């Protein structure tokens, strides 16, 4: 019996390591093939799609997207590219504006809402929080027609403002839930001491709660930024013109009824995923804490 337990204890780290390796390979392998497709010409890829390594390496796909190099199209194997390809940097800027503004609004509004729920002794606060979270359980597809009608009446279709407003509303429940878990873990005695010294409740929130909740704010901000950056469905419904088109919608437009631009789409995916990867690596510790927030306390 003891020998079997010892064997289990020895095998457990090995099994966990193998499981981690398999999961990592499962997640990284698509990015590897995306990178390999992005650094070769369309002609090379289509000629032999079973070949793992490209027969010729080129940066022309990235140059077309980053600099609008129309003069090298014939070398890439493309002859009839949609005009949207040359607006990649404009879409990239749109995605940055949408993600940063949505994150900022979520942190400002969500932090105040989460603090009110965590500290105000009212019956409706927790009920409001759970109702707010339950609203996100409704399939997004069900809400698309009402969202489109509302945005049309507000004249926010094909605008960055409309996308930002919609994303802020859809992501607020996540922000409130994450920040509530951090606020509720802080001792109330700190706020009582500040109130005794003459600080108002809002001043206590600004000077005491927010500085102590910096890890939670970083976690919520990173998660909201990644979600808003990668969101496709809401911008796809609201924006149909290139002026307000973010990167995910532009990538989808490279798949047409006549042709799929594999290498250009791969290059666009490679460039589009960089901000999320960089932010996740920089704030990895906070992102993990944010994803597990509320698991022990609520």
The reply to whether 237 and 177 lie within a common domain is yes
> Given 32, 51, 76, which residue is the final one in a domain?
76
Reported as a single tens digit per residue, the pLDDT across 28-47 is 888 888 898 888 887 788 77
The reply to whether 104 and 247 lie within a common domain is yes
Residue 74: predicted pLDDT: 56
The reply to whether 105 and 156 lie within a common domain is yes
The reply to whether 17 and 107 lie within a common domain is no
> Given 51, 76, 101, which residue is the final one in a domain?
76
The reply to whether 216 and 95 lie within a common domain is yes
Q: In angstroms, rounded to a whole number, what is the distance separating the alpha carbons of residues 64 and 124?
A: 55
Task: List residues bridging with 220 in a β-sheet.
Answer: none
The reply to whether 167 and 26 lie within a common domain is no
Higher-pLDDT residue of 86, 7: 86
The reply to whether 107 and 64 lie within a common domain is no
Binned at pLDDT 50, 70 and 90, residue 103 comes out as very high
Reported as a single tens digit per residue, the pLDDT across 240-292 is 888 889 999 998 888 776 777 888 889 999 999 998 888 878 877 766 665 55
Number of domains in the chain: 2
The reply to whether 136 and 235 lie within a common domain is yes
The reply to whether 216 and 160 lie within a common domain is yes
Residue 228: predicted pLDDT: 93
Residue 68: predicted pLDDT: 74
Tell me the pLDDT of the chain averaged across its residues. 82
Residue 139 resides in a domain: yes
* CB environment 85-123: b (16+ within 10 A), e (fewer): bbbbebbbebbeebbebbbebbbeebbebbbbbbbeeee
Give the residue numbers spanning the domain of 21.
2-76
Three-state DSSP class for 260? strand
The reply to whether 175 and 53 lie within a common domain is no
Residue 96 resides in a domain: yes
DSSP characters over 102-151: HHHHHHHHHHHHHHHHHH---HHHHHHHHHHHHGGGS-HHHHHHHHHHHH
What residues contact residue 60 under an 8 Å CB cut-off, 6+ apart? 41, 69, 72, 75, 76
Pair of tokens at residue 152: 């049309």
The reply to whether 231 and 177 lie within a common domain is yes
Q: In angstroms, rounded to a whole number, what is the distance separating the alpha carbons of residues 31 and 53?
A: 14
Q: In angstroms, rounded to a whole number, what is the distance separating the alpha carbons of residues 99 and 283?
A: 16
Reported as a single tens digit per residue, the pLDDT across 148-176 is 999 999 999 999 999 999 999 999 988 98
Reported as a single tens digit per residue, the pLDDT across 182-235 is 888 888 888 888 878 788 888 888 888 888 888 888 888 988 999 999 999 899
Residue 149 resides in a domain: yes
Reported as a single tens digit per residue, the pLDDT across 125-150 is 777 777 877 877 888 888 888 889 99
Residue 296: predicted pLDDT: 44
Residue 297 resides in a domain: no
Residue 211: predicted pLDDT: 86
Residue 179 resides in a domain: yes
The reply to whether 69 and 93 lie within a common domain is no
For residues 132 and 172, is the Cβ–Cβ distance under 8 A?
yes
SS3 content of the chain, % helix, strand, coil (to 5): 80, 0, 20
For residues 289 and 215, is the Cβ–Cβ distance under 8 A?
yes
Other C-beta atoms closer than 10 Å to the C-beta of 6 total: 10
Higher-pLDDT residue of 16, 103: 103
> Given 10, 44, 76, which residue is the final one in a domain?
76
Report the first-to-last Cα separation within the chain, whole angstroms: 40
């Amino acid at each position: 019996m003891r020998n079997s337990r010892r064997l289990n204890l020895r095998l457990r780290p090995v099994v966990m390591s193998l499981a981690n390796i398999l999961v990592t390979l499962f997640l990284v392998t698509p990015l590897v093939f995306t990178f390999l497709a992005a650094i070769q010409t369309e002609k090379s890829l289509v000629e032999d799609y079973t070949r793992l390594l490209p027969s010729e390496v080129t940066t022309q796909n990235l140059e077309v997207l980053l600099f609008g190099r129309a003069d090298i199209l014939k070398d890439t194997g493309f002859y009839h590219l949609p005009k949207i390809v040359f607006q990649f940097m404009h879409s990239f800027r749109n995605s940055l504006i949408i993600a940063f503004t949505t994150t900022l609004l979520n942190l400002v509004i969500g932090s105040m809402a989460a603090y009110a729920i965590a500290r105000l002794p009212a019956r409706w606060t927790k009920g409001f929080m759970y109702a707010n979270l339950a609203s996100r359980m409704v399939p997004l597809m069900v809400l698309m027609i009402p969202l489109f009608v509302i945005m049309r009446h507000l004249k926010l279709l094909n605008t960055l403002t409309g996308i930002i407003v919609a994303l802020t509303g859809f992501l607020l429940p996540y922000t409130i839930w994450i920040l509530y878990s951090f606020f509720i873990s802080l001792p109330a005695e700190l706020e009582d001491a500040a109130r005794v010294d003459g600080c108002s409740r809002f001043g206590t929130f600004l000077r005491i709660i927010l500085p102590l909740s910096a890890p939670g704010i970083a976690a919520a901000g990173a998660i909201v930024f990644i979600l808003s950056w990668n969101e496709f469905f809401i911008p796809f419904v609201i924006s149909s013109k290139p002026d307000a088109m973010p990167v995910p919608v532009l990538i989808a437009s490279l798949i047409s009824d006549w042709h799929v631009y594999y290498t250009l789409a791969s290059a666009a995916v490679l460039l589009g995923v960089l901000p999320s990867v960089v932010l996740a690596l920089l704030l990895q510790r906070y992102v993990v804490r944010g994803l597990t927030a509320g698991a022990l306390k609520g």
